[in-house]
Structure 1
Amino acid sequence: MSEQEVVASLRWNNNVSVVTITLICYEYLFLFEKEVKFVWKRQWSLMSCLYLVVRYLGLSLALLCGCWGGLLYISELVSYGLAVLMEWGFSVYFCFSEVILIWRLYALCNQSRLLLYVLVGLFLPIVALSIGMDIFLYSRRDAFSVKEVITPNAKYCGPSFNMGPMPAIYASIPVVCYDIFLVVFAAAILVNHLKERRESKMRPNTYVLMIVRYHVIYFVLNLTNQILLTVLWANIPTPAMSLAELFNDTAPFIFAPRLIISIWDTHANDKCVHVSTTFADCVCWTSPPQHEMSCA
């Protein structure tokens, strides 16, 4: 790599780092007031705990990604440890995001224990696969390492992918298939809900529409994220890699907390009498016809 290419790579890294930190800090400050209102000033539930995990784990990972590389110099040995930590953190974040989707479907289906067991049972092999692939792809120096680049004016560390993209592609297929299953199941719930409401001559429940829409948004987001994570293993130009890293280091950490907060915010501003009820127990999510007058 020539000196000009090194300088261009460092410039791309620093620009992306600044954008990442700016977006994440803005998002944190933007949602902080609502977070205090809906989380810290209320009794905690499973959903609020899941929110705090995706909120602060995502915030930590995004800031770490923004500082790692060239914006702040970190020695090669420490950079490798941080890089592995970030990759494992991404996997943990993905698992908690999937649990949120599972819990929403559980709430929509009248807290069906059978459904919960099926969804969790199908998800556990995905978790095991994720752990195995993280060990195979990111916890071995012959597969993933950090390279220190030194120029006359600066030095920084960058990731070095020592394998082809095929293992990452194979690992992403079960994840994408599981997300397809979740979004199709959510769509089936919506279709059944619309059919019941049409027969009863009632308008669709706001929360059912919102939750299904968010499942679709998350599916598109996660699909894009999986594709870009796989692309990073290929030898692509620096600008393309930097933009892919910008998306992966910001979008998942912004959308997941925001979607949770938006449901709470809509719920609090609605006329439902069960605002203080925990997520899974609120009849607003399941919306049987007899509750329409009080919950819609």
Structure 2
Amino acid sequence: MSHPDMTYIVSNDPSWWSVISGLRFASYFAVASTVSVVYDWVLTFAQEFELIWRRRWSFMTILYVSVRYIGILYSLAFTIWLLPFPMPDQHNGHDSCNILYFIVAWAPIVIDAALGLIIMTRLHAMYGRSNKMLIFLAAFLLVATIAAAVVMFMGNLGYSGGEAVLSGYHVCDCHLDTNSLELTDDMIIPTAIWEISAFCLAVRIVIKRFHELRQSQSQSRSAIGDCLTVFIQSHALYFLA
């Protein structure tokens, strides 16, 4: 989906200087976040090796590994995409910038789908493993994921890009028309609806458990400790985070 005339651009137009400043500023945050992600991975890899890689895998293990390593890939791709380094295949039609762009564009959808499955599993447990709740959550998550993927696909139909050298500053350039850009931004809406709904369902079951706990206790006893226990065991802190 890239046009030949957009694969490599050289320009010394001063109007690009504000864009260069913005890209340079954004690259600082990208590098800082990537360093934090990699540092966390290095610190926890020994524990991960013992608890994950040396044990029998389950469906939740696959989800965990997918989220962890696709997230690291996304972070690295986004940082490389922003850094002012020349790409090795800058004169080819489909260069590294296009590959990096599509990793950055599509990785969040895969990560959100995996996280959605984890949330669905937790909610299913919180609602007493109800089959009706499981069917509802699975259908809801499937619709939200498909909607996000369709919006992202439509938003990238008009994509064209490649490497650009703006006043000596190497950048990965991408072009989306106005309608496509709006669709790309709207990709987050289905995921946001799913996550907000999941949080509301978690709060609902926590409130219900608090109410049941208060009814089962005498008025002379303090229920604060038991309420905190229910709050923690119900995974509500996970949904809040």
TM-score by length of 1: 0.63
Correspondence for 1:214: 238
- Higher Cα radius of gyration: 2
Correspondence for 1:29: 42
In the alignment, is residue 77 of structure 1 matched against residue 100 of structure 2?
no
User: Structure 2: which 5+ runs fail to align?
Assistant: 1-12, 218-222
For residues 195-217 of structure 1, what are the alpha-carbon distances to aligned partners after superposition, in whole Å with 9 as ceiling and x for unaligned? 22223346136475361122122
Separation in structure 1 between the aligned mates of residue 126 and residue 150 of structure 2, nearest angstrom:
32
Correspondence for 2:78: 65
For residues 203-248 of structure 1, what are the alpha-carbon distances to aligned partners after superposition, in whole Å with 9 as ceiling and x for unaligned? 136475361122122xxxxxxxxxxxxxxxxxxxxxxxxxxxxxxx
Correspondence for 1:189: 205
Alignment of 1:1-296 (within 5 A): 2=14, 4-5=17-18, 7-74=20-87, 75=90, 77-78=94-95, 79-138=97-156, 140=157, 142=158, 144-146=159-161, 148-151=163-166, 153-164=168-179, 165-168=181-184, 170-201=186-217, 203-204=226-227, 206=229, 208-209=231-232, 211-217=235-241
Q: State the identity as a percent.
A: 21
Separation in structure 2 between the aligned mates of residue 198 and residue 102 of structure 1, nearest angstrom:
28
Correspondence for 1:283: none
Correspondence for 1:262: none
TM-score by length of 2: 0.76
Correspondence for 1:290: none
Q: Is the 8 A contact 2:163 2:172 kept in 1?
A: yes
Q: Classify 1:205/1:49 alpha carbon distance in 2 versus 1 (closer, same or farther; 3 Å).
A: farther
Cα drift, residue 13 of structure 1: 4.6
SS at match of 1:44: coil
Q: Classify 1:66/1:121 alpha carbon distance in 2 versus 1 (closer, same or farther; 3 Å).
A: same
For residues 154-213 of structure 1, what are the alpha-carbon distances to aligned partners after superposition, in whole Å with 9 as ceiling and x for unaligned? 422133332245434554433322222211110011111212222334613647536112
Separation in structure 2 between the aligned mates of residue 156 and residue 137 of structure 1, nearest angstrom:
21
* Matched residue type, 2:116: E
